[in-house]
């Protein structure tokens, strides 16, 4: 696939994530897809979910059922950079939201998407873990 097609696959996947439709979300991943976040990150700890998710159903469950329990309102995701090299797409973004505690969440993220035939095979997620912990746990 071309770099533009790969970038489009990632931006379309993000729309699928926002839809909270499990079937639509699962459709953007390979059967053996993985999503890796920093060990012990505040979101995983607060929700009691793994920081290494395997399989489209597990990833969709996180996005549809777990994520909305913590990030409850005013979710705003703003992309700042989107880069592609071969089948690797790097997305930088800022996410803001209201947490279940009522506190404001504001953090920058970097996602590295590894694609296979237009589908996401692996996501590596990076964020300021200290900033996330301070917002979520006070």
pLDDT tens string 94-134: 999 999 999 999 999 999 999 999 999 999 999 999 999 99
What is the length of the chain? 138
pLDDT at residue 12 in the model: 97
pLDDT tens string 1-13: 899 999 999 999 9
pLDDT at residue 122 in the model: 98
**How far apart, in whole angstroms, are the C-alpha atoms of residue 32 and residue 117?**
13
**How far apart, in whole angstroms, are the C-alpha atoms of residue 138 and residue 121?**
34
**How far apart, in whole angstroms, are the C-alpha atoms of residue 51 and residue 39?**
6
User: Sign (positive/negative) of CA torsion 129, 133, 115, 55?
Assistant: positive
Average pLDDT over residues 33-59: 96
Give bridge partners of residue 15 from the DSSP assignment.
none
Model confidence, pTM: 0.95
pLDDT tens string 19-34: 999 999 999 999 999 9
pLDDT grade for 40, boundaries at 50, 70 and 90 = very high
pLDDT at residue 106 in the model: 98
């Amino acid at each position: 696939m071309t770099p533009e097609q790969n970038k489009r696959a990632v931006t379309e996947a993000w729309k699928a994530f926002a839809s909270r439709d499990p079937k639509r979300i699962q459709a953007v991943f390979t059967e053996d897809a993985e999503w890796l976040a920093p060990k012990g990150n505040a979101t995983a700890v607060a929700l009691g979910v793994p920081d290494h998710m395997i399989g489209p159903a597990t990833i969709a469950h996180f996005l549809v059922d777990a994520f909305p329990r913590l990030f409850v309102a005013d979710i705003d995701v703003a992309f700042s950079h989107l880069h592609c090299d071969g089948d690797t797409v790097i997305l930088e973004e800022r996410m803001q939201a209201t947490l279940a505690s009522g506190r404001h969440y504001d953090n920058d993220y970097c996602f590295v998407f590894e694609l296979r035939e237009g589908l996401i095979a692996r996501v590596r997620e990076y964020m300021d873990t200290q900033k996330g912990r301070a917002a979520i746990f006070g």
